[in-house]
Amino acid sequence: MKLQGKTAVVTGGAQGIGFGCAIELAREGAEIALVDRPGNKELAKAVATIKEIGVGCVGIEANVFSHTGSQCAIDQTLSEFGELDILIGVPAFNRRSNFLDYPPEDFEAILQSALLGSFHVGQLVARHFVAKEKPGKIVFISSVLARIPNARCVAYSAAKAGLNSMVKTMAVELAGYRINVNAIEPGWIDTPGERQHYNDDTLAAEGRKLPWGRLGLPEEIGKAATYLSSPDSDYVTGTILPVDGGYRFKHCRDIPEETA
């Protein structure tokens, strides 16, 4: 197992893409600290599921949108496992609205979650790696919406684009410490969050519009995160990796046959 003896902290890890990442890292032997917002009822169930794989796992309730909350999550991880080797940052907060009607407080909340929260936890984990004089892996979950315009997602797209830029800058500055920093851009992934907004028929229809013919699964993002957390990716840094079933090209069409 490629991550045997490693400890990973996964923010937003109670469900959806975060949980998919945690499961795949655990299957490769990593011990897992699952971090999610206080009061998330899915956290205990997620911890129990990962423990069934046979690795150590702890659930941590913390608001990593803030510096204090991020520090709390890291401190609890170190208290439980004694070490930290991998950060999987999964900021997954979104609110949809038309640009003209978008509430400023919602825009600020999404920036706080996806961008500032990622800065806080990323900086603290990187400082830990540097202080310990050890290499480390940092992987953030971005989105294809960072590069593809989508109506009613102005704040989310802006925050994820900022995250991509931050990842590249972090990669340049931290390479000398042998800290890899990368991001994954999921396309449309079938998560509990999406199912709060769309029924089965709608999700299936949207999946058929993609070149791959279906929506992605959280575990498929997890497999990419596992690669970027493993020694196989030691020479990979500053990369923004799309894992989207061709979502970026869903509007491409065959050229019609000539009729003249």
The residues carrying an active-site annotation are 156
CA-CA-CA-CA dihedral for 42, 216, 166, 36, to nearest 10 = 0
Rounded to the nearest 5°, which phi and psi values hold at 17?
-60, -40
Is residue 93 within 8 Å of 112, Cβ to Cβ?
no
Biggest CA–CA distance in the chain, Å, is 73
Integer Cα distance of 248 and 191 in angstroms: 19
In order of 14, 52, 57, 151, 247, the CA distances from 49 in angstroms are 10, 5, 9, 36, 31
Is residue 210 within 8 Å of 187, Cβ to Cβ?
yes
SS3 58: strand
How far apart, in Å, do the first and last CA atoms of the chain sit?
Answer: 60
Cα 95 to its chain centre, rounded Å, is 17
SS3 248: helix
Integer Cα distance of 33 and 21 in angstroms: 12
Integer Cα distance of 163 and 116 in angstroms: 9
The HSE-up count of residue 102 (CA atoms within 13 Å, CB side) is 19
